[in-house]
Amino acid sequence: MMAANNYFGFTHGGTQYGAATASAAYGGQTGYAVAPAATAATYGTQRAAATGYDTAYQAAAATQAAAHAHAHAAVAAASAYDASKSAYYQQAAAAYPTAAPPQPQPTYDASAAKPAYSTPASYAQGTYSQGAAQRGAAAAKPAYGAVYSATTATASYPTQAYTATPAQTQKQTTNRGNTAYDTALYNAASMYVAQQSKAAPGTGWKNYKTPGTGQPRRAKPPPKAQQLHYCDVCRISCAGPQTYKEHLEGQKHKKKEAAVKLAAAGGGASAAGGARGAAGGALRCELCDVTCTGADAYAAHVRGIKHQKVVKLHTMLGKPIPSTEPTKVGGAKKKVAGAPKIAFVSSGGLRTVATDPASPSAPSTAPSTAHSTPHSPPDKEKDEEKEDDDAEPEVQPVGQDYIEEIRADDGKALSFNCKLCDCKFNDPNAKEMHMKGRRHRLQYKKKVQPDLEVKVKPSMHQRKLAEAKAQRMMVRDELWARRRMHDVYGQGIEEDERMYWEGGIEPWWRGPHHHHHHHGMGMGYGRRPETSDDRHVLTKHAEIYPGDAQLQHIHRAVAHTERALKSLSDALADSARQKTVPAKTKVDDKKDDKADGKEDGRDNQLFSFLAEGEQAGSTSTAGDAPRALKGVMRVGLLAKGLLLKGDRDVQLVVLCHDRPTVTLLKRVAADLPHHLAKVKGPGDEPKYKVELLPAEGAVQVSDAHVGVLVSLTSAVVREPADGGDIKRDDKDVLPRQKCLDALAALRHAKWFQARAATLQSCVIIIRILRDLCRRIPNWTPLNSYAMELLTAGVVQSAGAALSPGEALRRLMEAVAGGLLLEHGPGLRDPCEKELVDALGNMPPQKREDLTASAQQFLRQIAFRQIHKVLDMEPLPKAKHATGAWKFPRKRRRSNTDNEHDAPNGEGKIVKTEEKSDCSDTNKK
């Protein structure tokens, strides 16, 4: 991960670099190239004197030296660098544009841990890009010039400059530099030696180890021979060479050494972070290389015997003793190290100067002012924390209230119990420490005061989590981008699919989507999803809906009756006319018969017997006697389409010109069989039986399956009975009430067709209600017209189309809410001029029972027991609606999680598409 980051950083730097104007870049480079070369030259010679310390290192150094020398000779020393870089990261090389000078490469070399010189190079690189970005090209040049002199002049300078790079943006570079530095430190010590000897001419490399040179301890290779045998890694002194050797071979030392090496070689920040990550924001005693978690602990350490020992030892060795001022681990390590005159450090200075162009005089600053050495590698987040740490004031103890004192019998505090953190202490000091402590503060923040500031300590783990999260986000973003693409073209397909499924070529056999059957019944509830209530209602409806055979029987019987009536009417008219104008009308009639395309009353409108010539007011035709039977109309269940399974009685109403009389009725009853036989054709199956029902004012035509009640009535019946008319036909005229009822039925049928039949779900619900009335005694008093009025009103007042389930529930709500109780408004009959309550005659107890029943039903519907209301088996849950596609979707989803790293895009694509489907459907 870290490596990747480095790559990233480098690429970034490279870009910056490339962005800088070429001239500036090269200006800077000149300085740079010279600096290492100069040192290299010296140390190259030095090397010769030095005994082969480490052949491998020698070789590396030699190459390096050569390379640098080369660079010295030629400013754009690409080829020389190439030699050293070739083995290294190809990627880094690729990241740099061709315009970029080769300097960056060595940085990488450094982290790859071979040539020591690469370390300074890394500084240079970082700085360079920084400088180029920050200042203009012009500014860069002089700065680099300064660098040049600085490197040659003094070694202490870079240290100082290093500290003087506080800009946040540079931290990354710093880290990298340090990493590289570490690497170099431990892997290529020989070079340091060489530098050392150069810095202090005349001394052999062994001198390097003499006390007083004051360079970073860790930078030293393990000393081989000294009066005082001091192990720099472990920071102990040994009594003699023997013990020292033993120590060096000892496990403890090796472990420590390995750890240090690992930290260095394992690259950088991650290792360093691992080693010290736990100590974020802690104080550090440089002398003992001990990290303390807080000021108190640090104070304790300084007072402690171990620290005193080390101080004593260091005094003896003549090593510098840093002040007891603690070093903040987060920041650059504060350590007044002896001014390292080593060239290596000064090369590091290169970078510093570049970053701090404002103080070109920096090189001259005395080493004592140098604030930090680059030798302790701060890592990234420690750097970031630095500010926090510095800003953090002495913490105030919090949460006193939550610490219980556990007292002994004598009232003396025995121990303390912190309720927030659930821990105990015996010592009041421990309590104080605890209250200032981070854990306690965190608990306090969490449980009591959310705005309390507790410094954050990002652990390695958290950081990893954050990184993983960032990566996931990236993946997700990509996924979304893809999905958007899919959405764009996916819609077309969805549309196609919908056309296929919802279009005319609806395949019935396709599956268990049984609700589609109902499309045939003319109730598309659009896109409204079907609820369980709907399915129950529709299933029940399908149950009670009359079968095809039954409907056929009824329609045949009715059609035959109607045509027979027409024929009868014609015959009556003929016979009437023959008395007055014999021939003429007959011809007319025949013609009209053909002109009138209507054969019977199947459109549920008035089937007029009149021919066009003899318009309704045929009385106007001079001398023409009006037809006795003007027309016939289907009324009642048949006209309204409310027939249920098992219904066998239907009604027709014949409108007469005058008040229908018994005589007329008898005539009809007598003649109808003949006309029926004529209409149905000889030999046809149904044998019709015609009965005369004078009390009903009707004749009944019936066959094996169907009974058709033909009532006679006339519009004249409604006219106020004034005087003679009634008296005259008093005996002969059919019962008035029956005639009025028939007329009302006529109006009801018309009202129904106009107002109720068009309402969505209304007819279904009335059928359902009719079934309810047949089954449940409480509902029986509700007459069918009142039921129709009620349902139509309820459905109409909803203001929107209702699905069958909703409509049934709304009806129950209305009745349950007391609509039909006495104080309610009543059901106004729209077919009457006066205010008539269609349910006016219902007794109070019936109303009460009906309301109570509806109330119970309503709650049953609400609690998913509609099957009890409808008296049917509960339907299983709609599998196709939810389960069938929910399941695969779920499975697909869980796959998603596993395969989001899958390199081949196939899985992703399918998944994305699937998702787009889902989201699409969700929208609708």
Q: Which of residues 400-439 bind other proteins (CB under 8 A)?
A: 400-402, 419-420
What is the footprint of other proteins within residues 525-544 (CB under 8 A)? 527-529, 531
User: Candidates 144-152, 606-614, 694-702, 856-864 — which segment interacts with other proteins by CB under 8 A?
Assistant: 856-864
Nearer to other proteins by Cβ, of 62 and 884: the residue is 884
**Angle made by CA atoms 57, 58, 60, in degrees to the nearest 5:** 65
Q: How far is the CB of 757 from other proteins (least distance, A)?
A: 16
Does 921 bind other proteins (CB under 8 A)? Our answer is yes
Q: What is the nearest approach in angstroms of other proteins to the Cβ of residue 497?
A: 6
Contact pick of 338, 851, 870, 911 for other proteins (by CB under 8 A): 851
State which residue, 45 or 532, has the beta carbon closest to other proteins. 532
Residues 451-490 binding other proteins (CB under 8 A) are 451, 482, 485-486, 489-490
Task: Locate 463 and state its tokens.
Answer: 């950081």
Task: Out of 153, 239, 821, 902, name the contact with other proteins by CB under 8 A.
Answer: 821
Answer yes or no whether residue 859 interacts with other proteins by CB under 8 A. Answer: yes
Extract the tokens encoding 852.
């109570």
Indicate which single residue of 350, 435, 744, 827 sits in contact with other proteins (rule: CB under 8 A). Answer: 827
> Binding other proteins by CB under 8 A: which of 504, 597, 825, 903?
825
Does 449 participate in binding other proteins (rule CB under 8 A)? yes
User: Applying CB under 8 A, what is the total number of residues that bind other proteins?
Assistant: 95
Q: Tell which residue, 836, 742, 740, 736, has the closest CA to residue 786.
A: 836
- Residue 290 β-bridge partners: 285
- Interacting positions 491-520 with other proteins (CB under 8 A): 493-494, 497-498, 501-502, 513
DSSP string, 241-278: HHHHHHHHHSHHHHHHHHHHHHHHHTTHHHHHHHHHGG
Q: Is 814 in the site for other proteins (CB under 8 A)?
A: yes
Q: Which stretch binds other proteins (CB under 8 A): 259-267, 564-572, 631-639, 791-799?
A: 791-799
In degrees, rounded to 5, the angle at the alpha carbon of residue 652 between the alpha carbons of residues 704 and 689 is 30
Of 424, 705, 892, 900, the one binding other proteins (CB under 8 A) is 892
Q: Which of 845, 894, 898, 904 binds other proteins (CB under 8 A)?
A: 845
Residue 228, Ramachandran bin (φ over 0: left; ψ between -120 and 50: alpha; else beta):
beta
- Decide whether 289 or 914 has the Cβ nearer to other proteins: 914
* Binding-site member from 837, 872, 875, 896 for other proteins (CB under 8 A): 837
DSSP assignments along 37-94, one per residue: HHHHHHHHHHHHHS--S-HHHHHHHHHHHHHHHHHHHSSS-HHHHHHHHTTS-HHHHH
**370 to 399, contacts with other proteins by CB under 8 A?**
none
Check if the beta carbon of residue 316 is closer than 8 Å to that of residue 93: no
How are strands ordered across the β-sheet holding 327-328? 290-292, 283-285, 327-328
CB atoms within 10 A of CB 602: 14
Cα separation, 445 vs 459, in Å, equals: 19
Binding other proteins (rule: CB under 8 A), the pick from 146, 185, 858, 870 is 858
Minimum Å gap between C-beta 713 and other proteins is 25
Provide CB contacts within 8 A for 59, sequence distance 6+.
none
Q: Does 836 bind other proteins (CB under 8 A)?
A: yes
Q: Can you spell out the DSSP letters for 631-695?
A: EEEEEHHHHHT---TT--EEEEEEEESS--BHHHHHHHHHHHHHHHHHHH-TT-S---EEEEETT
Closer residue to other proteins, CB minimum distance, 415 or 855: 855
- Position among 461, 727, 823, 833 found at the interface with other proteins (CB under 8 A): 823
In this complex, which beta carbon is closest to other proteins, that of residue 7 or of residue 402? 402
Q: Identify the DSSP state of 618.
A: G
Closest CB to other proteins among residues 428, 840: 840
Q: Do the beta carbons of residue 84 and residue 60 sit within 8 Å?
A: no
C-beta of residue 191 within 8 angstroms of C-beta of residue 43: yes
CA distance 466 to 470: 6
Least Å distance, CB 847 to other proteins, is 9
**Span from 87-95, 156-164, 577-585, 847-855 in contact with other proteins (CB under 8 A):** 847-855
**Piece in contact with other proteins (CB under 8 A), picked from 109-117, 352-360, 441-449, 648-656:** 441-449
Taking the least distance from each CB to other proteins, the nearer of 186 and 444 is: 444
> What is the nearest approach in angstroms of other proteins to the Cβ of residue 763?
17
In the numeric block, the tokens 């989201």 are attached to 919
Residues near 263 by Cβ (< 8 Å), separated by ≥ 6? 182, 271, 272, 274, 275
SS3 285: strand
